[in-house]
Amino acid sequence: TNTILLASRPQGLPTAAQFQFETRELPEPTAGQVLLKTLYVSVDPYMRGRMSAAKSYVAPFEVGQPMAGGVVAEVVTSHADALPVGSMVVGNLPWQEYSVADAKALNRVPADKAPASYFLGLLGMPGLTAYFGLLDICQPKAGETVVVSGAAGAVGLLVGQLAKIKGCRVVGTAGSDEKVAHLKALGFDEAINYKTTPDIAQALAAAAPGGVDCYFDNVGGAITDAVYDLLNKHARIALCGQISTYNATEAPVGPRPEGKLLKTSTKLQGFIVSDYASRWPEGVQQLTQWYAEGKLKGEETITEGFDQIPAAFLGLFKGENTGKAVVKVA
């Protein structure tokens, strides 16, 4: 089968040279295993971390071994009663057109509930990240102001929609005028193009005249520095991601925000969505219900073709996606 390997570890921004295409023999599936045909591959910012050797919350990818991540696939050969041929599954699988996996490591996709790719976005890992980060850590109350950075991405678009469900004033930052218009059309009260606004601090202050009660941080850097100046008493910050620093070659430096957090009695919590693994069924159930009721939209940017997976991944760092970035393979 065709596979995409990590060819070398990036220094700074990754390039196409970090990926190598190869054809590999697949083993025959044995008892309890299935042969899978890949339908959709998820590309996610956290994969940048796994391309580096540095220790993190998931082990690094190995050079010369396949890249891997969230994949929706169809069972084409089955040696597992629970997954008959034709079932649709989601799991952590290699970037391959076909793969062999233990049925136990896969979850069945209820294809009647939503498009299959949504199990990589709205009803998958990013959806749960938005759900637990906003609702459990920030606990937004009606009338409060919620700021979300990276607002037009997979997680951010959902954070904003969830905050609207909770009756909040929602302010988002994103990297193009098209994204800003899109956020407003989705119900965001204010949206700011951080790439073109001359003064992000001023723009945020104008968009959040009553200060910030909740901040869902996807990006870090200068946007986050500016939000910290607007925190209200007892603000809550869900520290979800720091994409503006993922390709940095030197330790990022900046203002020391601790005094601002102290004076406002702010609660700041970093989290990894897997911290909530025991509550995933609750999250999926609620997100599925809000989606069915039309209260949540599961937007995505779909790129077509197995050979386009690296480009779609690299596109995350150029802001090419709106909503969840997914590659349709078959």
Which is closer to ligand NDP, CB of 75 or CB of 154? 154
Question: Nearest Cα to 320, choosing from 307, 303, 297, 299?
Answer: 303
Which is closer to ligand NDP, CB of 76 or CB of 277? 277
**90 has which bridge partners?**
72, 107
Exposed (0-12), middle (13-18) or buried (19+): which is 292, by Cβ within 10 Å? exposed
Is residue 129 within 8 Å of 240, Cβ to Cβ? Answer: yes
Which is closer to ligand NDP, CB of 195 or CB of 233? 195
Which is closer to ligand NDP, CB of 74 or CB of 217? 217
Minimum Å distance from CB 226 to ligand NDP? 12
* Pure H helices in 118-270: 125-131, 154-165, 177-185, 200-207, 221-228, 258-263
Minimum Å distance from CB 220 to ligand NDP? 8
Site residues (CB under 6 A) for ligand NDP?
Answer: 44-46, 126, 129, 150, 152-156, 174-176, 179, 218-219, 240-241, 243-244, 271-273, 316-317, 319, 321, 325
Q: Cβ-closest residue to ligand NDP?
A: 153
Minimum Å distance from CB 317 to ligand NDP? 5
Minimum Å distance from CB 27 to ligand NDP? 31
Q: How far apart are CA 300 and CA 316, in angstroms?
A: 13
Minimum Å distance from CB 155 to ligand NDP? 3
Residues 6+ apart with CB under 8 A from 110: none
Which is closer to ligand NDP, CB of 155 or CB of 203? 155
Extract the tokens encoding 57: 């919350």
Which is closer to ligand NDP, CB of 253 or CB of 262? 253
Which is closer to ligand NDP, CB of 257 or CB of 319? 319
Residue 227 φ/ψ, nearest 5 degrees: -65, -35
Which is closer to ligand NDP, CB of 98 or CB of 216? 216
Exposed (0-12), middle (13-18) or buried (19+): which is 196, by Cβ within 10 Å? exposed
Residues 6+ apart with CB under 8 A from 195: 175, 176
**141 has which bridge partners?**
none
Minimum Å distance from CB 287 to ligand NDP? 14
Characterize the bridge pairing of strands 98-102 and 145-148. unpaired
Minimum Å distance from CB 75 to ligand NDP? 27
Extract the tokens encoding 107: 């979850």
CA 318 vs CA 123, 201, 328: distances in Å: 25, 22, 20
**173 has which bridge partners?**
192
Minimum Å distance from CB 299 to ligand NDP? 10
